[in-house]
Structure 1
Amino acid sequence: MEHKINFEYSARYYTLGEISENVEQLWFVCHGHGQLAQYFIRKFEVLNDGKVLIVAPEGLSRYYLEGFRGRVGATWMTKEDRLSDIENYLTYLSEVFNFIKSQLKSNVQVNFLGFSQGAATISRFATQTDAHFDKLILWAGIFPPDLPPLESIERLKGKKVYWVYGTEDQYLSAGVMEEQETIAKHLDIKPIVKTFKGLHELSSEVLLEIAEE
């Protein structure tokens, strides 16, 4: 018989930039499957101009990428006990976000970005919590198909929603792209689509474009 217990948990996150009154944009970014936040956040160095603060939480489950030693990656969830994983990471993300946001001026622009698997993670955070945001950026990933439609629509009203991907992304098949279009239509939103010549990766040029819009 399965049982569950609640207990206090410690988790890490990383920042790039200084928390100060000078911060005009807060980027809250979620990495992809098998990545670690400490390396993922380095890809946002192009935004680090003294007026931008980047915060990168890390998936709560870590594992060896190959065998039983060597490089380690993190994941937000798997198919096993997925609802508990989702609940846990939403609680964790809320704690990190609220702690950081409370130290910034009230009118700071908030951008949520999720890369690959992190796109589903940040989508759930944007639509299933009360965290305030201005832009939602799904990069090389799509909305999860199980978002609650009515709640999602309400939370996404008046927000800029982006879908960004490399034109040579080896993981975005025609079927995945069609699924994204279907989900977006179901949520009654029209994402701003941005593409770049590249693989399953971030683009400094597109990051700067979005930051300036």
Structure 2
Amino acid sequence: MNEHSLIVPRRARYYTLGTPSEQVQDLWIVCHGYGQLARYFLRHFAVLDNGNTLIVAPEALSRFYLDGFSGRVGATWMTKEDRFSEIEDQASYLNLLLQEQLMQLPENVRVTVLGFSQGGATVSRWLATESIKIHRLILWAASFPEDIDFTTGKAAFTNLPVAMVYGTQDEFITPETLERKQQLMAQLGIVPRVYTFEGGHTLHPETLQLVNEQL
């Protein structure tokens, strides 16, 4: 049995808060976590919708029923199956999305990339493998991926302000996982600013505002 693959065109869905214009000073690309949908995830960023900010939430390309064979639907960025192809497809998707947004915005717009949970690993891989100019990276309740190429990926994070944010009651964040993430980041020269809030595996509007003001 031989395995083959085809590159096919397909539709990728994304949602926005704000309107592209010459007045936009900040562009945010925000990637949701496992089992979420972009339109609901984007609601967490309403606090940033100030008339000078455009927030774009791409939705992962694979969707599935969250419970059984019907009902609520979620999306996932990748699984262990054919993961390298999925990583490449993600990068192509996010590159195209970013380019499309930048074409509609002033040249000096500030670009912030935020990844929540599984979306944090997704954006980290994307930035490590592509020559993309962004200004800030926010990893929220996210696991920094161990399969990043530390040879080529280091340049992508040089002098890039990075924030690591998590809730103190997040069941997925333990002292051991936190230490491991920081060790991986250190190999890339990343010393993140760490923010915490009282809460679990979720976003937190007040902390989001604080990171936006300080990072």
The bucket for the TM-score relative to the shorter chain is over 0.9
Distance 2:96 2:18 in 1: 19
1:118, CA displacement in angstroms? 0.3
Q: Secondary structure at the match of 1:87?
A: helix
3-state SS of paired residue (2:153)? helix
SS at structure 2 position matched to 1:131: coil
**1:152, distance to aligned residue in structure 2 (A):** 2.0
- Looking at structure 1, the residues matched to 131 and 106 of structure 2 have their Cα atoms a distance apart, in angstroms, of 18
Cα distance in 2 for residues equivalent to 1:155 and 1:130: 7
Residue 148 of structure 2 is matched in structure 1 by 147
The 8 Å contact of residues 113 and 123 in structure 2, kept in 1 or not, is answered as yes
1:23-49 superposed Cα distances (whole Å, 9 cap, x missing partner): 111110000000000100010000000
Q: CA deviation at 1:149?
A: 1.1
Unaligned runs of 5+ in 1: none
Distance 2:94 2:78 in 1: 14
Give the Cα–Cα distance (whole angstroms) in 1 for the partners of residues 127 and 160 of structure 2: 10
Q: Does 1:173 align with 2:174?
A: yes
Aligned to 1:193: 194
CA-to-aligned-CA distance 1:150-197 (integer Å, 9 cap, x gap): 322211112101100001101112332122022012212211101111
**8 Å Cα contact 2:120/2:139 also seen in 1:** yes
Residue 128 of structure 1 deviates from its aligned partner by 1.3
Alpha-carbon distance, 1:209 to partner: 1.4
Q: Deviations over 1:127-160 (max 9, x none)?
A: 2112211101000012101111132221111210
Report the 3-state secondary structure (helix = DSSP H, G, I; strand = E; otherwise coil) of the residue aligned with 1:183.
helix
Q: Which amino acid aligns with 1:194?
A: Y
**Counterpart in the other structure of 1:18:** 19
Q: Percent identity?
A: 48
Number of residues of Structure 1 aligned to a counterpart in Structure 2:
213
CA RMSD of the aligned region, Å? 1.0
Pairs within 5 Å for 1:1-213: 1-213=2-214
Report the TM-score, using the length of structure 2 for normalisation.
0.96
Moved over 2 A (4+): none
CA distance in 2, matches of 1:53, 1:184: 28
Q: 2: CA distance between counterparts of 1:91 and 1:170?
A: 32
Counterpart secondary structure, 1:28: strand
Stretches of structure 2 that go unaligned for 5 or more consecutive residues are none
- Structure 1: distance between partners of 2:137 and 2:127: 8
Letter aligned with residue 98 of structure 2 = F
